[in-house]
Amino acid sequence: MRGKQIPKRKITPDPQYGLVEVAKFINYIMRKGKKSLAANIVYTSFDLIHKKTKKDPLTVFRKAIENVSPSLEVRSRRIGGANYQIPMRTNENRRFILASRWIINAAKSKKGKAMSEKLAQELINASLGEGDAIKKKQDVHRMAEANKAFAHFARY
């Protein structure tokens, strides 16, 4: 690695729930610096989750992130002139990032409703173990399982 390590930025917890995870999720939704719009989308979707499921939206959110988080992923590595897809374990930060990204992309891909409604529905589906984000996780795990023969190339 060249140069010095860049220090991690401290993310302030979100004002409504006081959680760093929710603040990160708001930041992932944010486009073009419009944080208040992103926060409005997340908080509205949490209200919709509470209305639909009669459960605490934070428990639904945490369960969804937990269900979508991948334990394995494949990374491309060039060895001897050939590219191999090598299955590797994902660390905790990367799991949260991937789960958030997959949930947001699954919500964005649906058409016809407001983003807060689509996000609420995707979070509910993910907490129940179904939906497009769960399908993405299963695809990644299937890919890792198929390339298990190349696991000895991984640097552990």
Number of neighbours of residue 97 by Cβ within 10 angstroms: 15
Residue at 6 is within a domain: no
Q: What are the tens digits of pLDDT across the range 124-143?
A: 999 999 999 999 999 988 88
Question: What domain range includes position 95?
Answer: 20-74+85-153
Q: What pTM value is reported for the model? A: 0.88
Measured between alpha carbons, how far is 81 from 133 in angstroms, rounded to an integer?
Answer: 34
Number of neighbours of residue 58 by Cβ within 10 angstroms: 15
Residue at 45 is within a domain: yes
> Quick check: 21 pLDDT over 70?
yes
Residue at 15 is within a domain: no
Q: What is the pLDDT of residue 54?
A: 92
Task: State the CATH number of the domain containing residue 149.
Answer: 1.10.455.10
90-93 — which CB contacts under 8 Å span 24+ positions?
none
Residue at 95 is within a domain: yes
How many structural domains compose the chain?
A: 1
> Quick check: 114 pLDDT over 90?
yes
Q: What are the tens digits of pLDDT across the range 92-109?
A: 999 999 999 999 999 999
Residue at 8 is within a domain: no
Stretch 74-90: mean pLDDT, rounded? 82
Residue at 99 is within a domain: yes
